[in-house]
Structure 1
């Protein structure tokens, strides 16, 4: 089994549309207003172009995807990198490939490349298993909001990826600096 982690390219858009559409069926059934769940090819292409969209190829086929947003931080008024559009093709679900991609992005990109102490993502309370899954992976709830769009309570979750740096930033913040 050969695994390759890389940034998505425009040529990957059709495969990513297939993965995201198939993986987000529960999101659509719950009538959550998540852009990824209702994406068309143009929105997938825009995501690839505007953000850092990562993929995990397994034996030459993209099996999972995860996006590091370049604009969501301002929406939540938070200063940590924000992950979105996490999806694993149904044929690969339960294989651990999604966890491998998430861990790789958290460590190689967020912690090592960006030098961030933590990472954030958001999910809906009404989803039957996502909140529990992220909490098992070390994410903790740090904020909640109901935007009144029918999604119900959305939780902002944070995972500390560099505890030493995070403690240092907390000390700086308490002394009047920014996180």
Structure 2
């Protein structure tokens, strides 16, 4: 079984939309308003075109995706978002593999960023603990009233660089 990491192309849009909607079904049931949870083909194409959308393929089928973008209102660090694993491939380590690939190969080694950030909802029952188990720590929260809090977490990838920068982090 061959695993391939690559940037998504517009030709992947339909497959990514299908994977995303299936993967985010539990998010919709929780009432959390992540853009990916109710994506349409135009939003998927926008993500591919305007952000770095990575896919993990196994035997020429996309099994996971993770995008990198900036969220300058909160941090100067690159942010991961739109993280989805095909439900047919859950609990097989594909989420960990693509997350580790993007953190290490793309953000740390290629972009030379000292850390990575992400945002999620405090209403999600397992995402924050999962990210904390993977080395992320909370650094910022924003109150959205009845919708709950937006929680931003970061993971230091290059400690000697992170602790000497003056960036907004």
TM-score by length of 2: 0.95
Question: For each residue in 1:22-52, what CA deviation from the matched residue of structure 2 results, as whole angstroms up to 9, or x when unmatched?
Answer: 1111211111121110100111011101110
Aligned 8 A contact 2:119 2:152 in 1 = yes
Q: Tell me, in whole angstroms, the C-alpha distance in 1 between the residues paired with 2:18 and 2:152.
A: 27
Q: Tell me, in whole angstroms, the C-alpha distance in 2 between the residues paired with 1:45 and 1:79.
A: 24
Structure 2 gaps of 5+ residues are none
Q: Tell me, in whole angstroms, the C-alpha distance in 1 between the residues paired with 2:93 and 2:33.
A: 27
1:163 deviation in Å? 1.3
RMSD: 1.2
Structure 1 gaps of 5+ residues are none
Structure 2 match to 1:80: 77
1:90 deviation in Å? 0.2
How many residue pairs end up in the alignment?
168
Query: Which one has a bigger Cα radius of gyration?
Result: 1
Q: Tell me, in whole angstroms, the C-alpha distance in 1 between the residues paired with 2:161 and 2:5.
A: 26
1:74 deviation in Å? 1.8
Q: Tell me, in whole angstroms, the C-alpha distance in 2 between the residues paired with 1:60 and 1:40.
A: 23
1:168 deviation in Å? 2.7
Moved over 2 A (4+): none
Question: For each residue in 1:112-153, what CA deviation from the matched residue of structure 2 results, as whole angstroms up to 9, or x when unmatched?
Answer: 1111000000111111111111111110011111223x4301
